[in-house]
Amino acid sequence: RNPRQVQGFVEDAAGCKVATVFGKWDESIYYVKGDATKKIKDPHSSGDARLLWKRIKSTPNLTRYNLTSFAITLNELAPGLEEKLPPTDSRLRPDQRCLENGEYEKANTEKLRLEKRQRMSRKLQEDGWKPRWFERQGDNGPYIYKGGYWEARERGNWDGCANIFGEFREDCIAVEES
């Protein structure tokens, strides 16, 4: 098996497999209707396979971070979008924004601050981390969306959603060193 190969499926509400997704994560991804996990080895051998995504070859004038045009757009904050995002959205990371702006020293300082904050947050979580919009099915099953994200986004109400990138005052929290 090729380590770059990926395979998955889409289930309907009853848990029946309605589509199979497969391909190479760095080349192309296809899908076929139904459960084809055992049948499909090569997308070109099946007339039913439909292309979902194909890698665009790098252009000779890449950015300084060697990112494709698509990758560059992933962090864009279009006007009006920031108000709809939860405070946990990675597009709001201050270290990332500084790096994109060429502020390397400030980016590193921000990254170190965020890492320290994350370590402190982990110490404060007695019961461990629990996903907000997903529930695990059984002890080792997949996580299933339980709703709430799109409704919160529509209202712009992120109450109870931690501002993980904001300032964090250590002197306000008593943490025992282990």
> In which residue are the tokens 């059984």 written?
138
In a domain, 62, yes or no: no
Whether 50 and 90 map to the same domain: the answer is no
Could you tell me if 75 and 44 lie in one domain? no
Task: Quick: pLDDT tens for 125-151.
Answer: 777 778 889 999 999 999 999 999 999
Phi, psi of 2 (to 5 degrees): -75, 125
Write out the residue range of the structural domain in which residue 48 sits: 5-54
The count of structural domains within the chain is: 2
Same domain (yes/no): 117, 36: no
Sign of CA dihedral 90, 94, 99, 105: negative
In this structure, are 101 and 46 located in the same domain? no
Quick: pLDDT tens for 10-30.
999 999 999 999 999 999 999
Residue 37 lies in a domain: yes
**Statement to judge: residues 45 and 97 lie in one domain:** no
In a domain, residue 59? The reply is no
48 and 109: one domain? Answer: no
Q: Which residues of the chain have pLDDT under 70?
A: 1, 37-46, 58-68, 168-178
Domain shared by 152 and 115, yes or no: yes
Residues 85 and 141 in one domain: yes
> Which residues partner with 88 through β-bridges?
none
Do 49 and 93 belong to one domain?
no
Does one domain contain both 120 and 38? no
Q: Are residues 49 and 79 in the same domain?
A: no
* Beta-sheet strand order (sheet of 5-11): 5-11, 17-24, 28-33, 50-54
